[in-house]
Structure 1
Amino acid sequence: MRSTTHAFGLVFTSALMLGGVLGGFPASAAPATTVQWTACPEDTTAECGSLRLPVDYGSPAEGTFDLAVARRKATDPAKRIGVLLINPGGPGGSGVDYALRTNLFSPDIYARFDVVGWDPRGVSRSRPVMCSNELLDHPASIFPASQAEFDALGAYNRKLLDDCRRRTGPLADHVDTASTAQDMDQIRRALGEKQINYFAASYGTLMGQQYAERYGDKIRTMVLDSNMDHSLGIWDYASTESAAMETTFTEWARWCDRTPSCALHGRNVIQLWHDVLARADRGELTDPDHPGTLLRAQDIVSTMGFGLYRPNQYASLATYVLKLSQQSKSDSARPRTSASTESNSVYQAAVCSDWNFPIRTFAEYQALEARERALAPTMRGGTVGHTDVTACVGVTDPVTNPQHPLKIRNAPQILMLDAVYDPSTPYAWTVNAHQQSRNTTTLLTYDGWGHSSYDRSGSPCVRAAVETYLTTRKTPAPDSHCAAVDPPGAPKAAAAENKRDVAQLHAG
């Protein structure tokens, strides 16, 4: 995952309003109007700072927190267009770390934009949501096989959420994406910009969608790569996730079949995979990276699922499966332990704030899991979407930012893109989000693999489309496609198609 509210409250203004109210909360709680920049400790070529913002925009008495931001100033001030706000997704990804990268965009983008990232509330440097490692390292099964295990999952979820609240304070209940969208506009105001440009992947696209719904006129350009679909209920969410994971796994197996350098080339990849999972079920496998640590089938499926995000890891996944198939039976498996007492983990708090995923009974759970497994038999239903929909089992708190159809009205054309074989944010999600906002969005389809097409596809066509749009505001022709670029090691059959696509992308 990566991951609106029915009522957003007051729209912020840039001037002091009657009654001493600024931007929807009292002037005494108003955020800083500027950022005091200093050299980042991790990289002195970039600048870091913070904004003091309200924990709860609707209730200033909850207090404030410091939102961490980082900036790489445009390298050619004479060509500077403005600010490019960026976010890598999550929930839990660090936008500061994202901004500290020097290779995300082309030199031309770095020349023309101040690239600014932020750690969303509850993440890393921005009042992190802290949770017990004892709980994080010993979760209840998200695949309960009995009523007792289902009850244990609900009890665990409640205990973890309460533990994170106790360790973190009030912010743990205010890490929803609607609040993050308001934080984004506070960044814009603090930077003195009338409009921002925005680039995000995965869960960061939900932040962008909700910003566009509320602050559409404050956008110059917006690129949403690998989109969330916040209109989906639990059944559609789980079903599309499972189907996407199964399809992408099948594509990986086909890549092995046609790629001599794949460690499993010439073998029955699907049968070997089933054999490895069966050995894990019998407790015969340990983690190659953590000798002696018991490896469950669920762990292997999860490793495969996340590995499929990056086509350049296809070869490594094959080697991983081969090593597991050759592993001798382990007699000394032990659970993994952590040396520290707590970790930053905003995931559950964010998911339970942004998504209403009701699973009230064990029977409802069984029906949902059966549906997932029917759609993804090779991947046993998958773990990415399943983890999301089970994160709030047993949690009865109100969902502060529940699903609704995307409604963008007062915004320029926004560029949405995704890969056909995206294992995390299914292509169907981006198509559906686009259909809900056809008047304000343009869809670009990458006919290949991976999660985050701009950063991970290796497609010159995708990169050209995104960077042309950011610099000129010119979108690709409607329903444009970029040809697939095969993962490393496979024949380069798509090179000519990509050259053609780059030339024709903006035709029409």
Structure 2
Amino acid sequence: MDIRALVAAGLALSAALAPAVATAETSAGQTPARVTAIGASAGEARATAGAFVVAAHECARATARCDGTVSVPLNWSDPSSERIEVAFAWLPATGRATGRATGTVVANPGGPLPALPALPRVREALGPVLEQHNLLVVDPRGLGKSSPLRCPGLKLTEPDTIAACAARLGPRIGFYTADQAAHDLDAVRRALGAGPVTFYGNSYGTVYAQAYAARHPEGLAAAFLDSTTITSPGGYALWPMRSRPDLMGFVCERSRACRALPGGPGRTYARLVARLREHPDPEVPLLALRSVERMTEPVFGREANAAATAYLAGDPEPLRRLARVLKGAPAQPVEGPEWAGYLAYRCGDGAFPYDRDASPGERLAQLGRYHERERPLAPYTPADLGLDVRSGLEFCVNWPTPRHSPVLPPRAALPAMPVLVAGGDFDTQTPAEVARAMRAFPRATFVRVPFGTHSLAWGAGEAGECVRTMLRSFVTDHRVPRERCGAENYRAAGAFPRSLDEVEPVPAADLDAGPGAGPDAGPGAGPDVGLDVGRRRVLAAVYATAADAVARRNPYNLVHARLTTQPGLRGGQVAFGNGTIDLDRAAFVPGVAVSGRITLAPDGRATASLGVTEAGVPGGAAHRIELEWEAFTARERPALSGSFDGTRFEARERR
């Protein structure tokens, strides 16, 4: 884990370097802007935008994908200002030959990054909707193909390059913001002759959607907002710079095994951070621990609480295993000339714990006082994460924002159109925060996706498909669908056993005789089916080993999904194939070595054929165990069926 991952999460190093005055320029060498009407009101800008004459574009007559540009003012409050080009892709409805399109979808995938490269993903999310709906995707000004802002040598992890970039581009950067992009979008819509559109915004795309709704309500029919970025009371986009240990408590509360752990998640986690601060462990840097805390990875959610408890009890390996998998994980590159456009939006649209009109030095002082007072990173300190408040915790410290450009103007009356908002438990903003903020739309409906993360309609597994179905249904008729989606498919683990004696046997009361077990075996037969307490303990250990390996193939994993091999927790090796998991003397419980193959069906059914040996037993007790269960369910333990050395059994689920 390096600083690039932290930048992607909204925490980056900055420096107190005041930008110098320089001549405005872009890579395309456009004429420097005439920066006028900086204080123009949103109402004035909207009136000017409505009066701006937009010529019909030839793409309006297209029957297949048509890419084009529209010329717009840099400053929409001054129609005589410099012209810039805004690029778009127009995809007429594929079924248009059989009749007119029933509507148009405008989509923005977020970032703030170029939108056009994400067009295939947008089309996949909308699917069959595009048979009857046109699709419009616009690269926001300053990004991608829309008069991009560029600064050679720009690195978001080097504050001096940010200040130099702002100086290079000059005051015109104040117009590369969502309020101006909203007018651009409407200009493209009018040039194509499209009627009121349905806006599909994902992540930062929801910022553009809100800005457009506030300024061009006549152009909107409805909006679907996925993973919403909310605004501050002043109308600027919020970039939460905070730790979320509360999520560990949220996950733990739903698990009986986790609730049985001593201390409680909050206190345990604070103790762990303090321990690692006092006694650094190179295998568990605090920056990596913060990634484990986020719960966006099912393996982290399943094991973080138990691993933290184990570490404090002198068993570091479970936590080290979680941290180790983060090493070498790819991080989004955060350097290159094109990141200037990202900075313009993030800094121009954003609300931060300092005054927009303050100098970089004043901003740093305000930022430092905020962290001392509020401690948003608790139980971490900035120093724990390699951040120095004196150098800045936020790279926008060095990006000037002289123009008043809120995403939502104060007291803006948002249109009473249908708005469906989907948000997950593990997203940047909490479901409660998003639901409260979206009340600004008179007809907004918020739908919580339990255990959902970010970019829900792009997700894998049943949850992703469910949200895509919801999106398509809403776009089609602007009604809130009845179906509800969820990604909760695991329960947090309890203690990691350090010996076979610490493993709780499968309770006799849970056991039934399996098919062919004989006429005398019945429900609750327990030892009578041939499984005494010792065998039931081994059975529980073997299932725990198999479940631990299968958890690495949870369909919602991102980091663990890249694994091809991983050592067993207590020894041996696990290899991951296409629908198979091979265990080579893999040990989850010390002394219980498991070998064999687990097969995962597309529907989540797992079958395992395993050989087991026990250390410490003369000759090593050998067993043959067949297992079948439904993986990825929110159960303490799913129902199991199979055989133990040929004896058939069925074990009822434990909720």
Would you call these one fold, judging by a TM-score over 0.5? yes
> Offset of 1:193 from its aligned partner?
1.3
2:127 paired residue number: 107
> Offset of 1:345 from its aligned partner?
2.8
Unaligned runs of 5+ in 2: 1-7, 11-38, 259-267, 308-317, 356-361, 491-552, 555-630, 636-655
Q: Provide TM-score, normalisation by structure 2.
A: 0.53
Correspondence for 1:444 among 440, 444, 447 = 447
For 2:9 and 2:187, the matched residues in 1 are separated by: 23
For 1:235 and 1:89, the matched residues in 2 are separated by: 16
The change in CA–CA distance for 1:297 and 1:22 in structure 2 (over 3 A counts) is closer
Paired AA for residue 450 in structure 1: T
Alpha-carbon displacement from aligned partner over 1:289-320 (angstroms, at most 9, x marks no partner): xxxxxx9865x478669x866769989x9999
2:369 paired residue number: 367
> Offset of 1:453 from its aligned partner?
2.2
The change in CA–CA distance for 1:132 and 1:22 in structure 2 (over 3 A counts) is closer
The change in CA–CA distance for 1:371 and 1:346 in structure 2 (over 3 A counts) is farther
What is the correspondence of 1:83-482 to structure 2 with a 5 Å cutoff? Answer: 83-91=104-112, 93-101=113-121, 104-133=124-153, 135-139=155-159, 158-163=163-168, 165=169, 171-232=172-233, 237=238, 241-242=241-242, 245-248=244-247, 300=288, 322=321, 325=324, 342-357=337-352, 358=354, 360=362, 364-370=366-372, 373=375, 376-377=378-379, 390-393=394-397, 395=399, 397-402=401-406, 404=409, 407-422=412-427, 424-437=428-441, 439-456=442-459, 458-459=462-463, 460-476=465-481, 482=485
SS at 1:133 equivalent: coil
What is the correspondence of 1:70-89 to structure 2 with a 5 Å cutoff? Answer: 70-77=89-96, 78=98, 80-89=101-110
> Offset of 1:33 from its aligned partner?
2.3
For 1:388 and 1:434, the matched residues in 2 are separated by: 31
> Offset of 1:277 from its aligned partner?
7.4
The change in CA–CA distance for 1:6 and 1:447 in structure 2 (over 3 A counts) is farther
1:23 paired residue number: 50
For 2:199 and 2:403, the matched residues in 1 are separated by: 27
- Aligned-residue sequence identity (percent) comes to 21
> What is the root-mean-square deviation in Å for CA atoms of aligned residues?
5.0
SS at 1:352 equivalent: helix
1:34 paired residue number: 57
> Offset of 1:354 from its aligned partner?
1.8
SS at 1:60 equivalent: coil
Q: Provide TM-score, normalisation by structure 1.
A: 0.66
Paired AA for residue 393 in structure 1: V
- C-alpha contact (below 8 Å) 2:104/2:195 kept by paired residues: no
Task: State whether structure 2 residue 633 is matched by structure 1 residue 492.
Answer: yes
Correspondence for 1:63 among 54, 58, 82 = 82
> Offset of 1:481 from its aligned partner?
5.4
For 1:236 and 1:57, the matched residues in 2 are separated by: 21
For 1:128 and 1:363, the matched residues in 2 are separated by: 33
1:289 paired residue number: none
For 1:279 and 1:100, the matched residues in 2 are separated by: 48
Alpha-carbon displacement from aligned partner over 1:15-45 (angstroms, at most 9, x marks no partner): xxxxxx88334xxxx4442154899xxxxx8
For 1:90 and 1:465, the matched residues in 2 are separated by: 23
> Offset of 1:389 from its aligned partner?
7.6
Alpha-carbon displacement from aligned partner over 1:169-228 (angstroms, at most 9, x marks no partner): x65331111111111111211121121111011111111112112222322221111222
Task: State whether structure 2 residue 44 is matched by structure 1 residue 9.
Answer: yes
For 2:334 and 2:347, the matched residues in 1 are separated by: 28
The change in CA–CA distance for 1:378 and 1:390 in structure 2 (over 3 A counts) is closer
Paired AA for residue 440 in structure 2: Q
Paired AA for residue 185 in structure 1: D
Alpha-carbon displacement from aligned partner over 1:68-91 (angstroms, at most 9, x marks no partner): 112333222236322111001122
- C-alpha contact (below 8 Å) 1:85/1:117 kept by paired residues: yes
Alpha-carbon displacement from aligned partner over 1:397-441 (angstroms, at most 9, x marks no partner): 42421365574443412112211221x23334311222233x221
For 2:487 and 2:236, the matched residues in 1 are separated by: 30
- C-alpha contact (below 8 Å) 1:223/1:466 kept by paired residues: yes
For 2:446 and 2:133, the matched residues in 1 are separated by: 24
For 1:431 and 1:341, the matched residues in 2 are separated by: 36
- C-alpha contact (below 8 Å) 1:70/1:118 kept by paired residues: yes
- C-alpha contact (below 8 Å) 2:202/2:228 kept by paired residues: yes
For 1:47 and 1:102, the matched residues in 2 are separated by: 16
Paired AA for residue 71 in structure 1: W
For 1:73 and 1:310, the matched residues in 2 are separated by: 38
Alpha-carbon displacement from aligned partner over 1:463-496 (angstroms, at most 9, x marks no partner): 333222110111247xx954334375262349xx
For 2:60 and 2:257, the matched residues in 1 are separated by: 52
The change in CA–CA distance for 1:296 and 1:205 in structure 2 (over 3 A counts) is same
SS at 1:117 equivalent: strand
The change in CA–CA distance for 1:74 and 1:382 in structure 2 (over 3 A counts) is farther
- C-alpha contact (below 8 Å) 2:156/2:395 kept by paired residues: no
> Offset of 1:456 from its aligned partner?
2.0
For 2:484 and 2:136, the matched residues in 1 are separated by: 29
For 1:236 and 1:69, the matched residues in 2 are separated by: 24
SS at 2:208 equivalent: helix
For 2:398 and 2:61, the matched residues in 1 are separated by: 45
The change in CA–CA distance for 1:313 and 1:73 in structure 2 (over 3 A counts) is farther
The change in CA–CA distance for 1:124 and 1:362 in structure 2 (over 3 A counts) is closer
For 1:397 and 1:281, the matched residues in 2 are separated by: 40
When Rg is computed on C-alpha atoms for both structures, the one with the higher figure is 2
- C-alpha contact (below 8 Å) 2:183/2:212 kept by paired residues: yes
2:558 paired residue number: none
- C-alpha contact (below 8 Å) 2:155/2:334 kept by paired residues: no
> Offset of 1:382 from its aligned partner?
8.6
Alpha-carbon displacement from aligned partner over 1:348-374 (angstroms, at most 9, x marks no partner): 222332235326365532332245645
The change in CA–CA distance for 1:391 and 1:301 in structure 2 (over 3 A counts) is farther
Alignment: residue pair count? 422
For 1:99 and 1:258, the matched residues in 2 are separated by: 44
SS at 1:74 equivalent: coil
Paired AA for residue 633 in structure 2: K
The change in CA–CA distance for 1:312 and 1:68 in structure 2 (over 3 A counts) is farther
For 1:212 and 1:311, the matched residues in 2 are separated by: 36
- C-alpha contact (below 8 Å) 1:74/1:113 kept by paired residues: yes
SS at 1:369 equivalent: helix
> Offset of 1:383 from its aligned partner?
11
